[in-house]
Protein backbone atom coordinates (compact mmCIF):
# COMPACT_ATOMS: atom_id res chain seq x y z
CA UNK A 1 0.00 0.00 0.00
CA UNK A 2 1.41 3.37 -0.98
CA UNK A 3 1.03 6.30 1.38
CA UNK A 4 0.51 9.94 0.45
CA UNK A 5 3.78 11.81 0.29
CA UNK A 6 4.27 14.58 2.84
CA UNK A 7 5.72 17.97 2.05
CA UNK A 8 9.01 16.76 3.58
CA UNK A 9 9.28 13.93 1.06
CA UNK A 10 8.29 15.88 -2.04
CA UNK A 11 11.53 17.63 -3.08
CA UNK A 12 12.67 16.25 -6.42
CA UNK A 13 14.70 19.02 -8.09
CA UNK A 14 18.45 18.57 -8.58
CA UNK A 15 20.75 20.91 -6.66
CA UNK A 16 21.99 22.74 -9.76
CA UNK A 17 18.47 23.63 -10.83
CA UNK A 18 17.54 24.77 -7.33
CA UNK A 19 20.64 26.99 -7.16
CA UNK A 20 19.86 28.50 -10.57
CA UNK A 21 16.26 29.13 -9.50
CA UNK A 22 17.41 30.70 -6.23
CA UNK A 23 19.86 33.02 -7.96
CA UNK A 24 17.28 34.07 -10.55
CA UNK A 25 14.55 34.74 -7.99
CA UNK A 26 16.83 36.57 -5.54
CA UNK A 27 18.19 38.82 -8.27
CA UNK A 28 14.65 39.45 -9.51
CA UNK A 29 13.52 40.37 -5.98
CA UNK A 30 16.44 42.78 -5.66
CA UNK A 31 15.70 44.32 -9.07
CA UNK A 32 12.04 44.83 -8.14
CA UNK A 33 13.07 46.44 -4.84
CA UNK A 34 15.45 48.77 -6.65
CA UNK A 35 12.77 49.68 -9.18
CA UNK A 36 10.14 50.38 -6.51
CA UNK A 37 12.11 51.81 -3.60
CA UNK A 38 15.58 52.50 -5.05
CA UNK A 39 16.98 50.69 -1.98
CA UNK A 40 17.06 47.12 -0.76
CA UNK A 41 14.52 47.11 2.08
CA UNK A 42 12.34 44.80 4.14
CA UNK A 43 10.48 43.56 1.04
CA UNK A 44 13.63 41.84 -0.16
CA UNK A 45 14.18 40.43 3.33
CA UNK A 46 10.76 38.78 3.41
CA UNK A 47 11.19 37.33 -0.06
CA UNK A 48 14.69 36.09 0.80
CA UNK A 49 13.48 34.21 3.88
CA UNK A 50 10.61 32.62 1.94
CA UNK A 51 12.95 31.76 -0.91
CA UNK A 52 15.39 29.98 1.42
CA UNK A 53 12.56 27.88 2.82
CA UNK A 54 11.16 27.09 -0.63
CA UNK A 55 14.57 26.01 -1.95
CA UNK A 56 15.01 23.66 1.01
CA UNK A 57 11.65 22.08 0.19
CA UNK A 58 12.35 21.73 -3.55
CA UNK A 59 15.75 20.05 -3.52
CA UNK A 60 16.24 16.32 -3.80
CA UNK A 61 17.70 14.67 -0.66
CA UNK A 62 20.89 13.80 -2.55
CA UNK A 63 21.66 17.55 -2.88
CA UNK A 64 20.88 18.76 0.65
CA UNK A 65 24.44 20.03 1.13
CA UNK A 66 24.22 22.26 -1.92
CA UNK A 67 21.15 24.05 -0.61
CA UNK A 68 22.46 23.94 2.96
CA UNK A 69 25.32 26.29 2.08
CA UNK A 70 23.34 28.42 -0.38
CA UNK A 71 21.67 31.23 1.67
CA UNK A 72 24.79 33.18 2.73
CA UNK A 73 26.40 32.74 -0.68
CA UNK A 74 23.17 33.81 -2.37
CA UNK A 75 22.88 36.98 -0.32
CA UNK A 76 26.56 37.76 -0.87
CA UNK A 77 26.13 37.35 -4.63
CA UNK A 78 22.99 39.50 -4.79
CA UNK A 79 24.52 42.29 -2.71
CA UNK A 80 27.71 42.24 -4.76
CA UNK A 81 25.68 42.62 -7.96
CA UNK A 82 23.58 45.38 -6.39
CA UNK A 83 26.69 47.18 -5.10
CA UNK A 84 28.26 47.10 -8.56
CA UNK A 85 25.09 48.50 -10.12
CA UNK A 86 24.02 50.98 -7.42
CA UNK A 87 26.10 51.32 -4.26
CA UNK A 88 23.70 53.74 -2.67
CA UNK A 89 21.04 51.04 -2.48
CA UNK A 90 22.98 49.23 0.26
CA UNK A 91 24.95 51.96 1.98
CA UNK A 92 26.14 55.45 1.22
CA UNK A 93 26.71 56.35 -2.43
CA UNK A 94 30.38 57.14 -1.75
CA UNK A 95 31.10 53.73 -0.16
CA UNK A 96 33.57 51.40 -1.82
CA UNK A 97 32.28 48.14 -3.29
CA UNK A 98 33.41 46.14 -0.25
CA UNK A 99 31.92 48.68 2.16
CA UNK A 100 28.58 48.59 0.35
CA UNK A 101 28.44 44.78 0.38
CA UNK A 102 29.34 44.63 4.08
CA UNK A 103 26.80 47.34 4.89
CA UNK A 104 24.16 45.36 3.00
CA UNK A 105 25.01 42.12 4.78
CA UNK A 106 25.01 43.86 8.16
CA UNK A 107 21.76 45.67 7.47
CA UNK A 108 20.00 42.52 6.34
CA UNK A 109 21.60 40.09 8.79
CA UNK A 110 18.27 39.27 10.45
CA UNK A 111 16.83 38.08 7.14
CA UNK A 112 20.02 36.12 6.45
CA UNK A 113 19.90 34.41 9.86
CA UNK A 114 16.18 33.65 9.62
CA UNK A 115 16.44 32.36 6.06
CA UNK A 116 19.50 30.27 6.83
CA UNK A 117 17.98 28.90 10.03
CA UNK A 118 14.72 27.95 8.34
CA UNK A 119 16.60 26.37 5.44
CA UNK A 120 18.79 24.26 7.71
CA UNK A 121 15.87 23.36 9.98
CA UNK A 122 13.77 22.28 7.02
CA UNK A 123 16.61 20.19 5.62
CA UNK A 124 17.10 18.55 9.04
CA UNK A 125 13.41 17.65 9.28
CA UNK A 126 13.40 16.36 5.71
CA UNK A 127 16.49 14.28 6.42
CA UNK A 128 14.78 12.62 9.39
CA UNK A 129 11.81 11.71 7.19
CA UNK A 130 13.95 10.42 4.33
CA UNK A 131 16.31 8.29 6.43
Mean pLDDT of the region 104-119: 97
Report long-range pairs for 19-25 (Cβ below 8 Å, ≥24 apart): 19/66, 19/67, 19/70, 21/55, 21/58, 22/51, 22/55, 22/70, 22/74, 23/74, 23/77, 25/51
Would you place residue 7 in the very low, low, confident or very high pLDDT band (cuts 50, 70, 90)? low
pLDDT given at position 1: 47
Residue pair 124/64 in contact by the 8 Å Cβ criterion: no
Q: What are phi and psi of 13, to 5 degrees?
A: -90, 135
**C-alpha to C-alpha distances, 104 to 15, 34, 40, nearest whole angstrom:** 27, 13, 8
Residue pair 11/57 in contact by the 8 Å Cβ criterion: yes
Would you place residue 100 in the very low, low, confident or very high pLDDT band (cuts 50, 70, 90)? very high
Hey, which bits of the chain come out as E strands?
none
Would you place residue 6 in the very low, low, confident or very high pLDDT band (cuts 50, 70, 90)? low
pLDDT given at position 128: 87
**Per-residue pLDDT reduced to its tens digit, 24-77:** 999 999 999 999 999 999 999 999 999 999 999 999 999 999 999 999 999 999
Amino acid sequence: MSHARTIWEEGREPGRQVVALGVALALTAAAVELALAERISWGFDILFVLLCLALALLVTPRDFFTVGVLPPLLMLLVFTVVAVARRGALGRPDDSLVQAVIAGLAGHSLALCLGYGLCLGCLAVRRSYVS
